Amino acid sequence: MKRKKSGWIYTYAFFLLVASFFVFVAYADINVGMNFMSIVLMGIFMVLVVLASLFAIPISSRATIVVDTSVVFASLLLFPPPWAGVVTSLGVLIGLLLSRPKPLDLVINSSVRFIEVSVTQIIYMNLGGTFPPNFNQAGVIWAFSGAAIVYIFLDRSLISMAVALFQKIEFGRAFSSILTRAFYEDWALILIGILTALVVEVQPWTLLLAVIPVGIVYIALRNSLRLEVLTLEAVERMADVIDYRDPYTAGHSQRVAELAEKIAKAMGLPTDEVRTVRAAARVHDLGKIAIDAGVLNKPGRLSDEEWDLMRRHPLLGAEIISRFPEFARGADYVRYHHERWDGKGYPFGLRGEEIPLGARIIAVADSYDAMATDRPYRKRLTQDVIMQEFRRGAGVQWDPQVVKAFLNVMGEKETKGEGPAPDRAWAPT
């Protein structure tokens, strides 16, 4: 289901546009000498911002990282306001136009860039900074440091507000998710930007030398993200192999992951947390790799010994994925996804909010797929019966708030179930 944009996101875009206009007007008459070489350099910097936008690094199907921080920071040190903001925002605008984005993205991203650069320059000037920078000036390090902190904070804050309004989540959740994204790489690029401003001020042609360290950071970040993707895919393939050991559960983990992601979004969780829930759900049964296929596919009742072995699979699965940084955050979700709201689950008998929210979400998604598919010991249940089971089990087997979100995802009304709550666990063993 396509997410409907909040009207506030358009209000925010308009606010950014108006704020950009007033900042431009306020600083358009700053009396700083601009010569022909300065104009040429501004054109070169704008082209570099465009190239950075075109070579953005994808971090998911919907998000990218643009490694242009060094170029932007060097620009705000070399060129006075509002011209550094104009150069860098035009670079963003052109780069986005070549990628055919939506008009809303154009307005927000270019306006954010203009505001963060211009406001950073205002702070930089108030800390004693000059254009171009005087590296022999007393206190120049404090001016650079203050500008860097303000730039990072503004960049994360303005983008977080856009994400919060678009996804209809709390600003704090969006900010905490975005704050650490490429955090150390950005600080490295800011340092390169300062050094770039230094060498360009001495000899403009040395700007070409700055491409080398920026390229190193770009390649390192790209390779790191590529390795992360390959690791995710390898572990997910392992989970798929386990599913296909049983013809009844083929594709089970994929379906659980998709549903868990929808529930997490419906509950308004931040993007990084949604990603963590989905990743954990995708490999929630990985611990079954140590269980014999004869036990997994047994049509009859499990023996006490077999049941004890089956109860260990969440622990083993959590232990396996905790060794992979990309999955480690969701290890507890795998460990506790068979716990119940009433404390009658396993492996530890946790109850209520003692169980991590991600695990509670996976428990609902896992149970739904168990009821909606054929199993060796029974045929699939009808949709009406499944929804009735969830209504009865809300507050007993499952977290009632998670069930509420699940019912919304499924397009069902939240009505009280009839009859006693199920004491059996509607989830794959």
pLDDT band at residue 222 using 50, 70 and 90 as cut-offs: confident
Identify whether the C-beta of residue 341 lies closer than 8 Å to the C-beta of residue 334: no
Give mean pLDDT, residues 196-219. 72
Cα(29)–Cα(221) distance, integer angstroms: 40
Cβ partners under 8 Å of residue 269, min gap 6: 169, 173, 277, 357
Reply yes or no on whether the pLDDT at 355 is more than 80.
Answer: yes
Quick check: 371 pLDDT over 70? yes
Residue intervals in the chain for CATH 1.10.1760.20: 7-221
Contact at 8 Å (CB) between 267 and 170? no
Task: Give the Cα separation of 295 and 287 in Å (integer).
Answer: 14
272-306 pLDDT per residue, tens? 788 899 989 999 988 888 787 777 777 777 788 88
Please count the CA atoms within 13 angstroms of the CA of 304 that sit on its side-chain side: 0
- Determine the residue type at 178: I
Terminal CA-CA length for the chain:
31
User: CA of 429: how far to CAs of 78, 303, 336, 392, in Å?
Assistant: 64, 13, 13, 21
CATH architecture of 244-409: Orthogonal Bundle (1.10)
The arithmetic mean of pLDDT across residues 405-423, rounded, is 67
- In angstroms, the CA 360 to CA 338 distance is 9
pLDDT at 340: 96
| Pick from 59, 60, 61, 86: nearest CA to 75 | 86
Confidence of residue 61 (pLDDT cuts 50, 70, 90): very low
Longest CA–CA separation in the chain, Å: 86
HSE value, Cβ hemisphere, 13 Å, CA-based, for 419:
8
Distance CA 293, CA 324 (A): 26
- Look at residue 417 and tell me whether its pLDDT is greater than 60: no
Predicted confidence band of residue 2 (pLDDT cuts 50, 70, 90): very low
Q: What pLDDT, on the 0 to 100 scale, is given for residue 59?
A: 57
Lowest mean pLDDT among 133-147, 230-244, 279-293: 230-244
pLDDT at 151: 96
Among the ranges given (38-47, 52-61, 281-290), the one the predictor scored with the smallest mean pLDDT: 52-61
Task: Give the other-Cβ count within 10 Å of 177's Cβ.
Answer: 21
Instruction: Between 271 and 358, name the one with better pLDDT.
Output: 358
For the chain, give the mean pLDDT.
83
DSSP string, 87-110: HHHHHHHHHHHHT---HHHHHHHH
Instruction: Decide if 253 contacts 283 (C-beta within 8 A).
Output: yes
* Choice among 45-54, 73-82, 206-215 with the minimum mean pLDDT: 206-215
- Where b means 16+ CB within 10 Å and e means fewer, 353-390 reads eebbbbbbbbbbbbbbbbbebebeeeeebeeeebbbbb
User: CATH 1.10.3210.10 occupies which residues in the chain?
Assistant: 244-409
Considering the segment(s) 7-221 as one domain, its CATH architecture is Orthogonal Bundle (1.10)
